[in-house]
Structure formats: C-alpha cells, structure tokens
Amino acid sequence: MADGMETESRKLLGRLREEMASEAAGQERLDRITHLIADSMRCEVCSIYLFRDDETLELCATEGLAPEAVHQTRMRLGEGLVGRVAKFGEVVNTADAPAAKGFRYMPETGEERYSSFLGVPIQRLGQKLGVLVVQSRDAREFSADEVYALEVVAMVLAEMAELGAFVGEGAALSPLHQQALLLRGGPAQEGSAEGHVWLHEPRVVVTNPIADDPHRELERLNAAVEELRVGVDKMLEISRGGDTEQLQVLEAYRMFANSKGWMRRMEEDIARGLSAEAAVEKEQSQARARMSQVTDPYLRERLADLDDLSNRLLRILTGQGRDNGKEMPPDPILVARNIGPGDLLEYGRSLKGIVLEEGSVGSHAAIVARALAIPLVVHVGRITTEALNGDHILVDGDEGVVHLRPEDTVVSAFRDKMAMQAEAQKRYASIRETPTVTKDGERINLVMNAGLMADLPSLKTSGAEGVGLFRTELQFLIRNQMPKRSELVAQYKRVLDSADGKRVVFRTLDIGSDKVLPYMKHVAEPNPALGWRAIRVGLDKRGVMRMQLQALIRAAEGRPLTVMFPFVAQAEEFREAKWEVNKTIEREKRLGHVLPETLEIGAMLETPSLAFAPQKFFDEVDFISIGGNDLKQFFFAADRENELVRRRYDTLNVSFLSLIERIVERCGISDTPLSFCGEDAGRPIEALCLAAMGIRTLSMRPASIGPVKSLLLRSNLQEVRKIIADARHRGEQSVRPAIMEYLRANG
C-alpha cells in the first residue's frame, strides 16, 4: 500500500477510535462513521448494512444515499450485490454495478447515479454481522490497497458491534448477546436440561482494536509470537520419541507459528492502524471463513491448526486464559465448538447438558454423553459466538433444539415438558423389578449399553438384566498412550464385579472411522465408515487384539466371559478372530492363569453381507448382536451423520424389517441367541416392532429401559406382527402409520 493510503487508513482508524470513546447513541455513531469513511475513501457514498435476522439485511446508516431509505431498505441474504457479499463472505468490487451479476436496483435509495461499487463483509470469527459498502460516480474498480483498507475498517466495525457501540432501536441495532435465540442442531443424546452456559473455551474479547502506537504493537506482537513459538517447541521436545502422528501435528503447528506470510499479514494490519490483538483476530476470521468453504479434511485440519494457534496467541496478548476467574454455575450447560472424551470426562456428571457447534452423533463426545446420560445437541451453528458465560439456556436433546436466553413463555413450556418426563420416570421406577412379559406371554430381555464404570450403577436403578454391549474402546480413546494390559485387567475386573453375576458382553476394540486413537497413526481414507475399522484393525494389529483378549480372560478370574467382535462382514473374519481367542486361551492355560468358567464368542452383525453368510457361520457363532445403527446406514446407503439423508429412512420400513426377519429366521435354524443393539432398541415403537419380528433381547441406554418395558407390558406381539404383515401385503413403504393407529386405538 502506498504511504499516502497508509496514512489515510491510520487517520481513519484514529477517528474511529474517537467515535468509540464518544457518548453518541448507536444511530448517531453509525451516521458519523459512514461520513468518516466516505470522506477518507474519497467516495460519494458509504453505507452500512447489518443483519436484522439470519436471512435479512437492513440499511442502517448511509452517507450519500437517500436518508429516508435508512431502516426501510431491506434485502434477503444473496439478494443484490450487498446480499451476495453477505452470503458468500467475499468482496465484490466492480466499476459497473448495474451490469454486475446479481445487481438489484433499489429505487428508494437513489443509487442509480453511482457506477462503482465496493462491498466487504463485516464479520467476526465466522459470525456474519453485515456489509460495508462504498460507491462513487466514477466508473472505476477500487485498487487492492483501497479494498484492503476497507476490510480493515470492516473488521474494526465488527469489534465495535461486539462491544455494543451500535445499539439502538430496531432489530438490526438490537444489542448482541441479549436477544432470545432459537438454535437448531442434531440430537445426539436424548433428554432435556435447563441451566446456564459454561464455555469450554471462553471468548477472547478484543477491547482495543485500534492501535495508539504501531511500533509498540509490533513489539507486543513479536514478543507474543516468540512466546508462542517457545511453547510449541517445548511441546515438540516433550513429544520426541513418541507417536509419529502427534509429532506431525506439532510440526504443522511449528510451521504455522514460524510462517513468514502469517507474520507479514499481521504486521501490515498493524501498520494500517490495528492493534496486535485485532491483527491476529483478523487473520483468524479469514482462516475461519476459508475453513467453512473447504471440503478437503486435511486442509480443514490445517486451517483448524491455524485457528487454534491464533487462539493461543490472542490469549498471550490479552492475558485472557481459559481460567477466566469465573466460577462454574451450579447447573452448567457446556458450550464448545468441539470437545474430546478426556476433557468431557473431567467435567463428569456435573454437567446438565452439552451443546456443540461441531461434533457428530457418533463422536467420542456423544459416546461419553450417552454413558453419563447427559443431553447433547450437535451441529448448533453460531452457538460459541452467540453464547456468553452465565446465559440462561434450555437444551432439548430429543428434538435437537437449543433456546438461548429464552423468553418466559418458552421457559414455562419447557419446564412443563421436563415435569412430564420426571413423572414418567416415576412410573417406570414402579415396574423396575417386573419381568418384561408381553400380554401374549412373550418374555423379552432388556439389557443396557455401557462403556464407563459410571454406567454400571444403572444396572440396578434401570432394571436392566445385564450389559448387552460394553464398549471397550473408551479406555483407549481417553488416553494419550496405549493402556497397559494390567490397567485393562483392573478395569474389566471392576466391570464384572459391579455386574454382580449379570451377563456382560465385552465388545472388542471398535476403532477407526470416527474413533481415532491419538497415539495410533491415522490412515487418511476417502470413506472411513467403510474403511479400516473395528475387526479389520484387530486382525491387522493382532498384538493389540491379543493383549485385550488376555486382559479379558484374566479379569474374568474363573467367572463366565462373553466376548463379541464388531463389524464382522464375512464369516472368515469371525473364524480368524475366534482362532486368536482359542490361541490366547491355550497360552493363558500354559502360563497357569485361571480360565473363564464358560466362554461365549459372538459377532456383531452390522453389514448386510453377514445376514447372507453360509448357514455354517450361524452354527459356529455362540451369539449374534445386530448393530442397528451401522446396519441401517449401510442398508439404506444413508450416512447416519448426514442430516440431509439420515432422517429419510425409517427403521420401520418394510424392507428393513424384512431383513431383520431373515436374520431372526437364520438364527432360529441354528438355535443361535440373537439381540438387537442400537438407538432403535431404546425407542418404544421401534422396540415393539423388533420384538414382534422375533427379537427377544434388546440392548439400549439405561434411561430407555423404562419406556420400552412400559409399552411391551401393554402389548400383544401377535397382533403387532399381523399389522406388520398386513402393511407389507398392502405394499406400504413403512408400517409406522399402521402401528401408530393400532396403539392409539388400544390406548
């Protein structure tokens, strides 16, 4: 940028700083700012458009356009050039605005006189706030230096908006972080919770976006970057000799921390008048904007690294660490972009609910949340930028809805729902010890899923008859290094002790796909759900499989032991795994260890291919558990993490129930015990239909046992099976409507 423009840019930021210090009202301050920008940029027009809601922009101030258009001119996201800037977060710079793609003429503004148009987004850390526009009569494209200067000003405006500098009348000028918001995401763990926000990573607030002394700011930036680099070097030194993957991540960190381009851009921002903090945040905002448009997983990870480094640098510059001195509220709802299982376990049961901006229904965090029975909603856009520590918040894990700073009427309705759920739980407690026998005399076994010691007390409180699935991978996921065999022995022994003689099905290590061990080299795969995971990893890493089998055998201490292999796609995989079990048993016998009283070896049927295995496989296996979550996504070719498709396909689809029926028949021929494990087992309507198809053991989260048992006790499976058969005969796609009608008619 030319020296003259640098001087003008710095002058403009200086005048903006004076406006920040003034006591002018929001509208008056906006009006002054548009005048300052137009004057400095030597343009006839400067306009500020702000969002009044997620989809609508409003002209909030202008210099040069018709004054009566202020707060009257509105446009939808993507509409006109201004809407285009807002939608894509990109600069629009044209010498002939009326001829530009997407131009929309707004007669009430009088803009037809102006040919040149430059619009830049006003955004902060990925949060879109509005659009800043300058226009002139001369038909010219604005220079790169002018574009850059306007982007710097837009960034300062975003900081000013964050600090409440533009509060006034109307939706577009309403104060940030005060309005009631309804945010939608995806349900990952059922339940409802009311509480107050606790941010896992409190926001860094930049209170001085404009520099008084650029030389001093450069010194502060250089000192902070040096501290950052030393910290990264220390992390690298500690990790030397450790896992290669961890070292690669830290090497990428160091590469970014030493990036000359990163430093140069921040130094240029400071030269134009930004403070060190604002310069870092400007780079961070641009990285997040790029990250939102990148689909390549590797590039997204690298941009996430840069985002994390920026956070670390901001905390060094501002002194605002994660520990901000505030006390966690007594009813905390954790809010985070994402969180690992280790961090979540540290919070433990103190949390009332969890809301994640990212995450997934199959993530480590979701697994832990289910184990702790904490309502969880994922994919809640903007939650980390909208929420502040202490905000009142309602979490509906059943519907995937979050109410932030809710109005009284919403709170009242939500509390009524929670009271009804609590009343229902009391009713379920009264049938806890009642055997699950349907009205036509069929005995159904209801067992629970678990993965943590914290789950085991639910064996008594829920009425579960055993553990149908104990996820052993959680003990591997929450560590930074492979657990020792002795540690696993102690863990599995405590599980069996807590079960007090009830059957526990230990699923061997189910990693890969979305469950990546931090200390095992990650294999980049185009479709991880169909890739190197579960038993495939176990058969390729037999040392790990043997260690886990040894730990299970020793933990049994002569008691019955039940082992299940996950994601078996063909009979030969099961046979190889069973051979490893028998080989391990022989070795333990030679070493003089006590062998299990009985040993059951089963397989989890999660791929349609296994349903069509030779009958000999069903003769060989001791039991089969249908893994409903994966089986359904592969059967329908619908990714269960993809909200666009996963809800299209119903468990009560006639085709899927026909597959379940075939599996029941094949297990019946071999007299092989069969169970169903997954989210659908814990949904009363689905559980009823699965039982009607012949499944006699259902494995679910502990909280679902009461509702499922309550419905089964009141139902006749023969009648339900006839309804399913009739719906199939009529050619209906799903039996759900017919089943719901039957239940309504029978109370």
Q: Which amino acids are annotated catalytic?
A: 364, 677
The full length of the chain comes to: 747
Category of 42 on φ-ψ map: left (φ > 0), alpha (ψ -120 to 50) or beta: left
CA angle 644, 649, 651 (to 5 degrees): 140
Residue type at position 542: R
Closest CA to 42 of 123, 149, 120: 149
d(CA 700, CA 450): 9
- Strand 445-450 relative to strand 74-76, pairing: unpaired
**Is the separation of the CB atoms in 50 and 71 below 8 Å?**
no
Residue type at position 739: I
Exposure of 66 by Cβ count < 10 A (0-12 exposed, 13-18 middle, 19+ buried)? middle
167's tokens: 């509060």
**Is the separation of the CB atoms in 195 and 333 below 8 Å?**
yes
DSSP-derived secondary structure for 141-167:
PPPHHHHHHHHHHHHHHHHHHHTTTT-
Give the H/E segment covering residue 737: helix 736-745
**Is the separation of the CB atoms in 333 and 200 below 8 Å?**
no
Beta strand extents in 219-365 (DSSP E only): 332-336, 353-356
| Residues pairing with 604 in the sheet | 625
**Crossing angle between the packed helical segments 654-670 and 628-636, to the nearest 10 degrees:** 130
Tally of CB atoms within 10 A around 103 = 17
Residues 6+ apart with CB under 8 A from 543: none
Closest CA to 634 of 567, 558, 724: 567
Backbone φ and ψ for 50, nearest 5 degrees, come out as -125, 150
- Strand 56-63 relative to strand 45-53, pairing: antiparallel
**Is the separation of the CB atoms in 597 and 559 below 8 Å?**
yes
d(CA 249, CA 252): 5
d(CA 535, CA 576): 10
Residue located via tokens 């520990």: 323
Backbone φ and ψ for 424, nearest 5 degrees, come out as -65, -40
Q: Would you give the DSSP letter of residue 523?
A: P
